[in-house]
A and B are shown apart, each in its own frame.
Chain A
Amino acid sequence: MAQDLAQVETVMPAETERKGHAIPIAFAIMVGLLLIAPYFVYPQIVMQALCFALFACAFNLLIGYVGLLSFGHALFFGWASYVCAHLAKVGTVQLPYWLGSWKWLVIPMPPLPPELAILGGTAVAALFGLIAGALAIRRQGIYFAMITLALAQMMFFFALQAKFTGGEDGIQAVPRGWLFGTFDLSRPAVLYGTVLCIFLLGFLLIYRIIHSPFGEVLKAIRENEARAISLGYKTDRYKLVAFVLSAALAGLAGSTKALVVQLASLTDVNWHMSGEVVLMTLVGGLGTIFGPVAGAFIIIAMQNFLSALDQWVTVIQGVIFVIVVLLFRRGVVGEIAALLRIKL
């Protein structure tokens, strides 16, 4: 224990000293790259990567800053994607309720404009996050991962059986519509701008959360939950709020993805998707702000370049998992940051 303390004390001043301008510069570089990217790469791929980048950032908020490994984030991503696609395409909502026997509460609605559809998807993800989070935070560490995985699998089966999800076909040909009634999302440039804005807003929100007093408490919980409790923090409440925020942002990413790809399918709620977002974050660097973004772009690029190797992609992903865990636990951005002795 004494050794731990000594380490902390030598590390702390160095970190505050080197705060500098690294993050604003890196942010400017990232935005610059994203603005010119569609001129060099097929914009559809960049937009997909942006959605996954936001998803990975949301996931990283939990694993990187609270130390909670959620292995079921596809639940929020996939269900938000379904809800958004349904609201944009059909609108009318049917909710089952129990009154002696199962009945349907029908809320007739026209197909909603994209902003409301995205909002709806995000809200549902936040609600699921509240329920799943309240259950999962009752156990620590490794159990937390298993519980989130199991809950996500349960909701996968619901998605498989529910009628509105279209089963194996998914919800296809989702209309993109007019954002705020003025921006035509079927125009690629407008869509790209919208997706980029959503991503940047989510990214900045996460940055703000991490660097707020609330974020500091989260980091305290990650480092030593018992000590945080002894300091009087209701750590469960903090963990739950972080979980809901992360789920909502994952839902925002999933909703946006439904409009970009115009498809919501079982792939998005499957546990493979949960694994993929873990991989993206791990490759980029756990607990770094830019890591998940870099990781998402690396993995999406890999999937596109290696699409000829189709069936080997899972194997390659597995190999990357093993290599990163054994050799590069800091991830790409983490390694760069360590090399330049800055915080990214």
Chain B
Amino acid sequence: MFEIFGIPSQALFGQLLIGLINGSFYAVLSLGLAVIFGMLNIINFSHGAQYMMGAFCAFFLLQYLGLNYWAALVIAPIAVGIFGIVIERTMLQWLYKLDHLYGLLLTFGLALIIEGVFRNYFGASGLPYAVPESLRGGINLGFMFLPIYRAWVVCFSLVVCLLTWYMIERTKLGAYLRAATENPTIVRSFGVNVPRMITLTYGFGVGLAALAGVMAAPIYNVSPQMGADLIIVVFAVVVIGGMGSIMGAIVTGFGLGVIEGLTKVFFPEASNTVIFVIMAIVLLVRPAGLFGRRA
């Protein structure tokens, strides 16, 4: 065991790892928000609630159908994504021509409904979700003990983020998406079904949130409130990164997670607020966000 800046390496790297894990969730969630905002021009306030739904979905699958973590990793995002598509078709699609604020208000209402319903049926306390068999245990790296599941979460989120980036920035489908973000009318005139693309984008963004929820289930307990406070931090992350760039969202998400983890080591009182303070500083120095474009 050795020390860095007077802090035992175990504690330092432990918090760094927690920071990376929080960062993965920030990255995946802010990515989903950015994708949805790009196409729908709506800030999805129910993103946190949908993240929570993903975790509950995994819990139900295990509890009632006996389907394990790996199945949940596939089924939960699809199920919650379909839920999102239903919401988009029945509610959100009527708001596109209005001020953006109505989208925020509607999804805020949805978040209240979803979280309220889950809280009434499952109480405020968390439900446990076991770490899958194959990812239990850990590796001793010498300077720290690395639980395999946590390493898996960080790596898998990174892969998901990079795949999303590749799909949007490097494939034909992504090109359509980006074009429709810039000018939907022209893209429609080329025969692309833009409304359907918008619907699927919302489903995809919501699915990403659910995926993060499944990954979070074994780390934090599955609880109705798990998304509510997280989403506000993710909003701050989005303000810091700016929603213009996919890569920006990923980098900001992971970076802020790490900074938050380090704050827990060196100045624990500020760990809850450090991201908001950074947001304030970024607003002073670079109002458009680190990766944002001036609107």
Chain A contacts to B: CB under 8 angstroms? 63, 69, 71, 135-136, 138-143, 145-147, 149-151, 153-154, 157-158, 161, 271, 275, 278, 282, 311-312, 314-315, 317-322, 325-326, 329
Contacts and interface: CB of A to CB of B under 8 A. Distances in A.
26 contacts: A63-B101, A69-B104, A135-B280, A135-B284, A143-B239, A145-B101, A146-B238, A147-B279, A150-B233, A150-B239, A150-B276, A150-B279, A151-B279, A153-B233, A154-B276, A157-B272, A314-B112, A314-B116, A318-B110, A318-B112, A318-B113, A321-B108, A321-B112, A322-B110, A326-B94, A326-B95
A216 B126 CA distance: 51
Contact of A147 (B269, B273, B283, B295): B283
Given A150-B235, A158-B273, A271-B232, A325 B112 contact: no
Main secondary structure of the interface of A (DSSP, over half): helix
A282 B98 CA distance: 15
B43 interface: yes
Given A139-B283, A150-B236, A325-B95, 9 more contacts: A146-B235, A150-B235, A150-B279, A151-B280, A153-B229, A278-B105, A320-B109, A321-B106, A322-B109
A249 to B, nearest CB: 21
B109 A138 contact: no
A166 to B, nearest CB: 18
Contacts of A150: 232-233, 235-236, 239, 276, 279
B100 A154 contact: no
Contacts of B233: 150, 153
A278 B102 CA distance: 11
B134 interface: no
Given A319-B109, A321-B108, A326-B91, A153 B232 contact: yes
Contact of A142 (B101, B112, B232, B277): B101
A307 to B, nearest CB: 15
Interface in B160-200: none
B136 interface: no
Contact of B232 (A141, A149, A315, A318): A149
A321 B116 contact: no
Interface residues of B, number: 43
Contacts of A151: 276, 279-280
B115 interface: yes
B29 to A, nearest CB: 13
A129 to B, nearest CB: 15
Interface string B217-241: 0000000000001001101101100
Contacts of B115: 314
Interface of B: 37, 43, 91, 94-95, 98, 100-102, 104-106, 108-117, 119-120, 229, 232-233, 235-236, 238-239, 269, 272-273, 276-277, 279-280, 283-284, 287-288, 295
B104 A326 contact: no
B269 A161 contact: yes
B116 A312 contact: yes
B273 A157 contact: yes
Contacts, number: 114
A147 B239 contact: yes
A136 B280 CA distance: 9
A315 B94 contact: no
B102 to A, nearest CB: 5
Contacts of A325: 95, 102, 105-106, 109
Given A150-B232, A153-B232, A311-B119, A317 B283 contact: no
Nearest to B104: A145
Contacts of B109: 317-322, 325
Given A147-B283, A325-B95, A315 B102 contact: no
Given A145-B104, A150-B279, A321-B106, A139 B239 contact: yes
Contacts of A141: 100-101, 295
B112 A69 contact: no
Contacts of B232: 149-150, 153, 271
Contacts of B284: 135, 138
Nearest to A275: B108
Q: Which 3 A-B pairs have the closest CB atoms?
A: A321-B109, A318-B112, A318-B113
Nearest to A161: B269
A234 B139 CA distance: 60
Given A312-B116, A318-B116, A282 B276 contact: no
A142 B110 contact: no
Max count, chain B CB within 10 A of own CB: residue among A151, A161, A318: A318
Contacts of B283: 135-136, 138-139, 147
Contacts of B101: 63, 69, 141-142, 145
Nearest to B284: A135
B99 to A, nearest CB: 8
A161 B283 CA distance: 25
A275 to B, nearest CB: 6
A197 B283 CA distance: 39
Given A142-B43, A146-B43, A146-B235, A311 B287 contact: no
Contact of B116 (A138, A145, A311): A311
Contacts of B229: 153
Contacts of B43: 142, 145-146
Nearest to B240: A150
A315 B104 contact: no
A146 B107 CA distance: 14
A142 B243 CA distance: 11
Contacts of A154: 273, 276-277
Contact of B113 (A139, A282, A319): A319
A120 to B, nearest CB: 24
